[in-house]
Amino acid sequence: MNISGRFWTWFWLAVIGLPLVVFVVWANLTNPRQFVSTLLNGVTLAALYFLVASGFTLVFGLMRNVNLAHGSLFLLGAYIGWVVGDATDNWFLAIAAGFASAALVGFLLQVSVFRFMQGQELRQTMVTIGISIVLADLMLWCFGGEIYSFDPPRAIFQTMPMVVVGKYPAYRLVVLGIAIAVGLVLWLFLNRTKVGMMIRAGVDDRQMLAASGVNVQRVFAITFAIGAGLAGLAGVIGGTALSISPGEDTRYLMASLVVVIVGGMGSIPGAAVGALLIGLAEQFGLSYAPTYGVVFTFLIMVLVLAFRPTGILGRRST
Amino acid sequence: MSAAQWRRAMNSGAGRTAWSRPPSLPARPGPAGSAIATGTAASPVQSIVGALRTIGVRHVAVLLVVLVYPWVATPFFIYQIGGQALVLGLIALSLTFLGGYGGMVSLAQMSIAGLAGYMVAIFGIAGEAQGGASSLGWPWWIAVPIGVAIATLFATFVGWLSVRTEGIYTIMITLAIGVSFYYLAQQNYSIFGGHQGFNQVHAPVVLDIDFSKPIPYYYLALFWALAGYFFVKYLLRAPFGVALQGTRENPRRMNALGFDVTAHRVAAYAVAGVLAAIGGVLLTWYNGRISPGSVGVGAMLNILIIAVLGGMRHPLGAFIGAILFVLVQNFAIDVIARERFNLVIGIVFLSIVLFSPDGLLGLWGYVRTRILAGGVQPKIRGWGVGSTRREPARMRNGGTAADR
């Protein structure tokens, strides 16, 4: 059994890996510049996806709540951040406002709605769908269909020298840095603080956590606020990298869904792996096969679901 | 699925009813109860005879109303309200079948419908599309079966993919698949015609009847809506339907009884795919065009909204939800500005989900038992009226250890 298992591992590695190696060699020989810039774009897009998806997966992991209003929280954070940034001319305040506003909305939602339907997963999901429809329309009402863009500090919004490609926008690397920082902070928070410990315990066994005297509702509210806040934070950062307009909520909801399905539901490292895969697939797809770009994303999802239904780093739910 | 399995489904359904319900308890009304109670019907003929016996005055009245409706209504009400509601109801019916009876809430039903519409535009006759995509111009009686067949294959594939994970994941995976299809249709110009899609996809003229005119279109839609409705009603009493409801209640136990749970679920996706595909072809003819907007997230959610509004516990709910949805869509302008339609429908949807999870049908059942009959009924709570039978057990967090 061991030998045949190893055989199949090598078989699939060859089937998937060989074409990849051939592609990488071919792309580097023909046009290294395009390859490297696509690679950089892919990694920085992955950073953005990780920011959005980490909140989604955090909430899902603890509460089994598929928050389909996550995209709306992303857009809400972006709009509020834009208003604050516009009023104060301070981009860092805009980020803080994006995080705080989305976190507040998330907290209110958990406290006033979701805590009353604990365990009814399907109903919670339906409610998040309803909320996303209402929020999307309210935001369209308030902010209209225009495209908003941020005004970040000059220092981080210029080009910088880079190997092979020559020049590269510094802001994209800033996004990468922020994502790594957020990932580290989340890791420290989950592994080194008391609340983080409770959250991890809750992911493993909610009933046991409640039985050992922890106020589970408070842990839930904190987690939901952090998850929603991460969406809002990503809203400002993503809105600065690209722009904010109605419809972006769907795009990032889709991104977090696919990232979380691929990476493993409820797992933060899984979100990082999934984001990297999807970000790279999307950028390489756009660069080398423009009209079929989304097919690669879809293919990755199909492959992962076919071989590891719980995602690459996911575990069976308890 | 083999005939032997079907027979076993029948027998176990009958056996279970016999010993699981204490004789003192009256039979619980509702779809699940009646389906299991009549699951013993031995042949289609007997079940048709049985069905005929249950026809009441209200059934005849409803049939008369929908048949006579075009002769008293204005073309706007026939086409925009009647025709659209029937077609949207048919697509929502496929979701009701999957979600309400199979326990799998799929958001990709609109994508399946849209794929059928796209295929009819690509293989059939459509106007010139942007960016080189062109239709083959084949007659409708070739294009429509091809479109329905391809969409059904796609639905089966979606099912095969999404049944690998359980419960709540289904909604995520089908949403992701649907959104992928939307982006594919939007980005791809060579096949799907990109952002513009296909224009001038009209219903054919058959035997001198132009099916794009309001009255013929209404009857066409009515025919398929009724066909879909009775097909689902029949299927739910057939061994397959009973077994499917069994897999919703307790997949583990059904597996232990010798049923292939995965096969039943994939088959349910295929059946729902046929319904959605037919609805999709009709919807494309209704709009006269198909574009990425028709399969976007908004459209996908609309189908869910319709099914939930009406109530997923009975096939009729899909059509009731569709009528309400179309009315709100067309008359929201009188209540509040037209652009705020989404706000109105979102709030209606939210309040239904929050306060009456079984939709309008659930609300009606509540009113009938609580107020009209004066009976005592437990307060509506959760999915289903405090009963485990209607609630997909595996959707809930709890469940007993034995179920896992």
- Residues of A in Cβ contact (< 8 Å) with B165: 305, 309-310
Q: List the single residue in B172, B180, B301 with the smallest CB-CB distance to A133.
A: B301
Per-residue confidence (pLDDT) for residue A87, from 0 to 100: 85
Whether A109 and chain B come into contact, CB under 8 Å, resolves to: no
Sign of the alpha-carbon dihedral angle for B56, B58, B61, B67: negative
Q: List the single residue in B169, B180, B350 with the smallest CB-CB distance to A130.
A: B350
B161–A258 CB contact, under 8 Å: no
Per-residue confidence (pLDDT) for residue B51, from 0 to 100: 63
* Greater pLDDT, B96 or B194: B96
Q: SS3 sequence, chain A?
A: CHHHHHHHHHHHHHHHHHHHHHHHHHHHHHCHHHHHHHHHHHHHHHHHHHHHHHHHHHHHHHHCCCCCCHHHHHHHHHHHHHHHHHHHCCHHHHHHHHHHHHHHHHHHHHHHCHHHHCCEHHHHHHHHHHHHHHHHHHHHHHHCCCCECCCCCHHHCCEEEECCCEEEEHHHHHHHHHHHHHHHHHHHHHHHCHHHHHHHHHHHCHHHHHHCCCCHHHHHHHHHHHHHHHHHHHHHHHHHHCCECCCHHHHHHHHHHHHHHHHCCCCHHHHHHHHHHHHHHHHHHHHHCHHHHHHHHHHHHHHHHHHCCCCCCCCCCC
When scoring A49, A62, A75, A133 by the number of chain B Cβ atoms within 10 A, the one with the most, hence best to mutate, is: A133
Sequence-distant (6+) residues with CB within 8 A of B268 are B97, B98, B101, B102, B104, B159, B244
- Residues of B in Cβ contact (< 8 Å) with A120: 382-383, 395-397
A250–B297 CB contact, under 8 Å: yes
Whether A133 and chain B come into contact, CB under 8 Å, resolves to: yes
B190–A291 CB contact, under 8 Å: yes
> Residue A209 in contact with residue A196, Cβ under 8 Å?
no
Q: List the single residue in A126, A137, A301 with the smallest CB-CB distance to B343.
A: A137
* Greater pLDDT, B397 or B326: B326
When scoring B154, B170, B183 by the number of chain A Cβ atoms within 10 A, the one with the most, hence best to mutate, is: B183
Whether A294 and chain B come into contact, CB under 8 Å, resolves to: yes
Q: Residue B250 in 3-state DSSP?
A: coil
B187–A292 CB contact, under 8 Å: yes
In total, the C-beta contacts within 8 angstroms joining chain A to chain B are: 126
Determine how β-strand B209-210 pairs with β-strand B205-206: antiparallel
Per-residue confidence (pLDDT) for residue B335, from 0 to 100: 66
Average pLDDT over residues A13-35: 79
A127–B173 CB contact, under 8 Å: no
Per-residue confidence (pLDDT) for residue B301, from 0 to 100: 85
Q: Which two tokens stand for residue B163?
A: 């049944």
Average pLDDT over residues A142-165: 74
Whether A143 and chain B come into contact, CB under 8 Å, resolves to: no
Query: In this predicted model, what pLDDT tens digit does every residue of A51-94 receive, in sequence order?
Result: 889 888 888 877 777 888 888 999 999 999 888 888 888 888 88
CA–CA min distance B80, chain A (Å): 24
Q: Give the Cα separation of B168 and B380 in Å (integer).
A: 22
Interface confidence, given as ipTM, is 0.75
pLDDT surpassing 60 at residue B394: no
CA–CA min distance A100, chain B (Å): 25
CA–CA min distance B164, chain A (Å): 6
CA–CA min distance A113, chain B (Å): 9
Q: Give the Cα separation of B345 and A43 in Å (integer).
A: 39
Burial of B201 (0-12, 13-18, 19+ CB in 10 A): buried
**Mean pLDDT, chain B, as a whole number?**
74
CA–CA min distance B36, chain A (Å): 25
- Residues of A in Cβ contact (< 8 Å) with B343: 134, 137-138, 141
Range scoring the smallest mean pLDDT among A206-220, A222-236, B39-53, B182-196:
B39-53
Per-residue confidence (pLDDT) for residue A256, from 0 to 100: 86
Query: In this predicted model, what pLDDT tens digit does every residue of B264-288 receive, in sequence order?
Result: 889 999 999 999 999 999 998 888 8
Question: Which residue does chain B place closest to A137, by CA atoms?
Answer: B343
CA–CA min distance B232, chain A (Å): 23
A310–B165 CB contact, under 8 Å: yes
Q: Residue B360: which H helix or E strand, with range?
A: helix B359-367
- Residues of B in Cβ contact (< 8 Å) with A117: 382
Domain spans of chain B, in order of start: 76-334
- Residues of B in Cβ contact (< 8 Å) with A306: 161, 164
Average pLDDT over residues A212-235: 88
Whether A134 and chain B come into contact, CB under 8 Å, resolves to: yes
Q: How many CB atoms lie within 10 A of CB A52?
A: 29
Query: In this predicted model, what pLDDT tens digit does every residue of A249-308 receive, in sequence order?
Result: 888 888 888 888 888 877 888 888 889 998 888 888 888 777 677 778 888 887 887 777
Range scoring the smallest mean pLDDT among A14-18, B10-14, B70-74:
B10-14
Domain spans of chain A, in order of start: 46-249
When scoring B301, B308, B309, B397 by the number of chain A Cβ atoms within 10 A, the one with the most, hence best to mutate, is: B397
B392–A68 CB contact, under 8 Å: no
B349–A130 CB contact, under 8 Å: yes
pLDDT surpassing 70 at residue B7: no
A 245-284 residues with CB < 8 A to B: 250, 254, 257-258, 260-261, 265
Q: Give the Cα separation of A154 and A51 in Å (integer).
A: 23
- Please choose, from the candidates B316, B279, B318, B319, the residue with its C-alpha nearest in 3D space to the C-alpha of residue B295: B279
B383–A119 CB contact, under 8 Å: no
Q: Which two tokens stand for residue A223?
A: 């987690």
- Residues of B in Cβ contact (< 8 Å) with A131: 350
Burial of B43 (0-12, 13-18, 19+ CB in 10 A): exposed
Whether A293 and chain B come into contact, CB under 8 Å, resolves to: yes
Q: List the single residue in B349, B357, B396 with the smallest CB-CB distance to A133.
A: B349
A121–B395 CB contact, under 8 Å: yes
Whether A298 and chain B come into contact, CB under 8 Å, resolves to: yes
Per-residue confidence (pLDDT) for residue A3, from 0 to 100: 61
Range scoring the smallest mean pLDDT among B71-85, B331-345, B354-368:
B331-345
CA distances for B192 relative to A301, B125, B186, B354, angstroms: 22, 14, 8, 39
Per-residue confidence (pLDDT) for residue B206, from 0 to 100: 78
Per-residue confidence (pLDDT) for residue B150, from 0 to 100: 92
A257–B392 CB contact, under 8 Å: no
B346–A265 CB contact, under 8 Å: no
- Please choose, from the candidates B373, B374, B102, the residue with its C-alpha nearest in 3D space to the C-alpha of residue B232: B102
B176–A257 CB contact, under 8 Å: yes
Q: Residue B268: which H helix or E strand, with range?
A: helix B261-287
